[in-house]
Structure 1
């Protein structure tokens, strides 16, 4: 069934050094196949991963050492393969290959497991979820309900809210909406037809879209917190906070519009160094708009946490609660479409000048706009219970090119200016760039300047 591929001793050593964690696991062939299906289930229900079967482990001088101890031939792995296929049939979501290394004992089975749309259960009937190097069994109704929400199999937007239906049937928001979009409909009739009123109660989607103040009904999960940190460090702190966090509220349509406007307004007050000196920082408005829209429409509203937008000196961070739904991963997000909140995505598109004009193309637009300004692509990270997007003010030019370009029109450059210029937050990393340019004979230290005042200039020959 699976191809046998030859690998080099260096590739073998890389496998044996692989650290077990969220995306990798290594097991011996004598572990029961049913036990290994728990790892496959855990990978499939999280972000996917790689499983190597045929790697042993022993303790030598109190230290663990791995060794290659694979299957004698592909047929010897049939029992494992049959058990694996019961859990996750081989195809798009799971594939395998046998690895053979000259001089080693047997062949190792490498399984590549992708994140699946559906819940994947091991042969013991339990669904597992990968967390670091652990596989966590999800057995209780609450755990399985959470997993269905995480995978987008169910959505919190369909839950009903125990409030007076007048909050959505007689709001200014619904009246303005129906006048401009569906002039002949009565609010209650139209909302019921759209499955936004059930048993006389509004759904979460109805409240988010059409209540004038959703935050009063759904606190801690329907607003946006906006922060401004005067730093390029990895984390913001109270000391670097420029002002008290801003809380943005309102229906989703107004929430997106206001959040984008306020973010752009704050960004326009940030200055960075360029070859021509200090200049106001610029990001494509389309990028900010699309990423904020994506965070609002696709977040998991079952988490009682507000979206956060954090503006740093060298980047914008947008963090939305909940993991990526379905089979979507940071690697395939630009190609795959999966709407956790289908009603929100569909109905907000009916508003005048909707924030999601090109449904399914928002993130692609965000990336293209960054490239159009010669800025690096946004970075998308899936954390334990949230998705973080980083929009960096970092040029496509290398740090070395940016520093030399600056020195074409300026006599010298400091570490602080280089950090601002390149978007690199680490002082030591900038030092490494300086040292590389020095070793190439491109720059030298400015004589007489040391410590925090030290600076570099273009090389003039002689010793630096």
Structure 2
């Protein structure tokens, strides 16, 4: 690929970071696999091979390979590390204005669903601009949990067997699903008992009170904040947080019901005045279900559902597993907790269908109400889903629609209408609309009371009658 001077300078000025690294052609291919493994075990990243650096003057230069054949050693290292086309893309870059400066090899790596080792047999993760080796077994296990290679749901819990084999939940399940079976034999056969102990999955599914064995990993907490601000505070917390416990099947249903109840009665400002807030219940159901089934149960934290005046936030412990990202999560599928997902789908009227369509259903339901789709944020240690009560219409369209029935509009009203938190963002919208002739400021107002209206229609001669009536 030929690059112009601007594109070349962008590469030379790239800051080495959590997702970018630049290397000279002299780097040994084996050493390069450390960076490759580190990227794959973290968030992915890009390596540019063929960038020289004068450390004394802190200057970089384009010093690429003389030909593609000269890069064979590096390409072969990539190919042995990754079969062609899997989680990596290679490109050769050349300066359009200086082709004699050589070819820079650019390799783009995606986060892999498995843990990758470098050619020295060690596991590295990317932290800032460094490749950090993992030697501690617990750190490696945490990485495996984070990537979904192994799941904490298979971990045995030190509680008596009858904690799950003699519960009302498992007896009711057996009578409905396997009426001739016995809980102990059934759970052993399904690998829900290991080393004569219940696994995390069996406790979550079949214990009447999983919270007794997993006090910080099995509940959902629901909060109501009477504010539209970015963060909820103790001052805006309405009532006490509601802790929802019990087996996973009951937790999902009760968490959805509680969230729906809290949402009811909230009123939002629309161009037609105050209206009751409306979220598709299926959206709340699917996102809360997804949080319970796919969270990382090795992290000692609850799922948090926060109901604000203009949005609902669902935050579940653990980042997105394997190769999933907020961008591909609707197209890709990966289950962190296979036992939990599989067996909860066998309950009567299950909360999930175990076909990987839950999030898409949630997005489609929001679209059906002409609301903006949920926002998925991977915070690495948790996944936050924000469900905003925000119409698909642009802020400009909302402003014009509001002024069709109201004489004026202010910054605070627009923020409530459009769900915008920043006063300066709304100021910039007003400025654009004024320049376009769509709005005008109401004259004579002090700055703190500034408001805007549709442009007044000036009477022109063309509007006047040709023969005015004489009095």
TM over 0.5: yes
How far did residue 392 of structure 1 move? 1.9
Q: Matched residues in 1 for 2:297 and 2:197: separation? A: 18
How far did residue 452 of structure 1 move? 3.8
Residue in structure 2 matched with residue 92 of structure 1 by the alignment: 86
- Number of residues of Structure 1 aligned to a counterpart in Structure 2: 456
Residue in structure 1 matched with residue 181 of structure 2 by the alignment: 185
Trace 1:152-191 onto structure 2 (pairs within 5 A).
Answer: 152-191=148-187
After superposition, give the CA deviation of every residue in 1:274-322 in whole Å (9 maximum; x if it has no partner): 1111112212111111111111001110111111112223222211111
Q: Matched residues in 2 for 1:190 and 1:449: separation? A: 75
Trace 1:111-130 onto structure 2 (pairs within 5 A).
Answer: 111-130=107-126
Which TM-score applies when normalising by structure 1? 0.93
Q: Matched residues in 1 for 2:55 and 2:282: separation? A: 56
Any idea what SS the aligned residue of 2:314 has? strand
How far did residue 65 of structure 1 move? 4.4
Residue in structure 2 matched with residue 71 of structure 1 by the alignment: 65
Q: Which moved more, 1:71-80 or 1:249-258?
A: 71-80
Q: Matched residues in 2 for 1:231 and 1:134: separation? A: 41
Which of 383, 401, 417 does residue 421 from structure 1 map onto?
417
After superposition, give the CA deviation of every residue in 1:123-150 in whole Å (9 maximum; x if it has no partner): 2221111234333211221122112212
Distance 1:18 1:301, change over 3 A: same
Which TM-score applies when normalising by structure 2? 0.92
Residue in structure 2 matched with residue 361 of structure 1 by the alignment: 357
Q: Matched residues in 1 for 2:43 and 2:434: separation? A: 42
Any idea what SS the aligned residue of 1:413 has? coil
How far did residue 158 of structure 1 move? 0.9
Which of 188, 203, 209 does residue 207 from structure 1 map onto?
203
After superposition, give the CA deviation of every residue in 1:366-399 in whole Å (9 maximum; x if it has no partner): 1111111112222212112111212122222211
How far did residue 201 of structure 1 move? 1.5
Any idea what SS the aligned residue of 2:8 has? helix
Distance 1:13 1:236, change over 3 A: farther
Residue in structure 1 matched with residue 142 of structure 2 by the alignment: 146
Q: 1:383 and 2:376 equivalent?
A: no
Q: Which moved more, 1:131-140 or 1:347-356?
A: 131-140
CA contact (8 A) 1:88 1:120 kept: no
Q: Matched residues in 2 for 1:57 and 1:391: separation? A: 46
Q: Matched residues in 2 for 1:233 and 1:59: separation? A: 47
Any idea what SS the aligned residue of 1:25 has? strand
Any idea what SS the aligned residue of 1:309 has? strand
Trace 1:390-409 onto structure 2 (pairs within 5 A).
Answer: 390-409=386-405
Any idea what SS the aligned residue of 1:381 has? strand
Which of 1, 6, 19 does residue 10 from structure 1 map onto?
6
Q: 1:250 and 2:208 equivalent?
A: no
- What's the C-alpha RMSD, in Å, of the aligned pairs? 2.0
Q: Matched residues in 2 for 1:116 and 1:223: separation? A: 30
Which of 277, 297, 300 does residue 301 from structure 1 map onto?
297
Any idea what SS the aligned residue of 1:433 has? helix
Which of 221, 237, 240 does residue 241 from structure 1 map onto?
237
Q: Matched residues in 1 for 2:46 and 2:192: separation? A: 42
Q: Which runs of 5+ in 2 are unaligned?
A: 459-471
Q: 1:317 and 2:313 equivalent?
A: yes
Residue in structure 1 matched with residue 74 of structure 2 by the alignment: 80
Distance 1:76 1:316, change over 3 A: same
Any idea what SS the aligned residue of 1:273 has? strand
Residue in structure 1 matched with residue 440 of structure 2 by the alignment: 444
Q: Matched residues in 1 for 2:196 and 2:354: separation? A: 33
CA contact (8 A) 2:320 2:380 kept: no
How far did residue 359 of structure 1 move? 2.3
Residue in structure 2 matched with residue 328 of structure 1 by the alignment: 324
Distance 1:318 1:135, change over 3 A: farther
CA contact (8 A) 1:233 1:426 kept: no
Q: Which runs of 5+ in 1 are unaligned?
A: none
Q: Rg larger in 1 or in 2?
A: 2
Q: 1:292 and 2:284 equivalent?
A: no
Q: Matched residues in 2 for 1:340 and 1:158: separation? A: 11
Q: Matched residues in 1 for 2:32 and 2:226: separation? A: 48
How far did residue 94 of structure 1 move? 1.3
How far did residue 353 of structure 1 move? 0.8
Q: Which moved more, 1:83-92 or 1:118-127?
A: 83-92
Any idea what SS the aligned residue of 2:235 has? helix
Residue in structure 2 matched with residue 195 of structure 1 by the alignment: 191
CA contact (8 A) 1:319 1:387 kept: yes
CA contact (8 A) 2:48 2:106 kept: yes
Which of 454, 457, 471 does residue 458 from structure 1 map onto?
454
Q: Matched residues in 2 for 1:59 and 1:431: separation? A: 46
How far did residue 457 of structure 1 move? 1.4
Q: Which moved more, 1:341-350 or 1:16-25?
A: 16-25
After superposition, give the CA deviation of every residue in 1:4-58 in whole Å (9 maximum; x if it has no partner): x112223223333434333322333333333322111111112222222223344
CA contact (8 A) 1:86 1:123 kept: no
How far did residue 248 of structure 1 move? 1.3
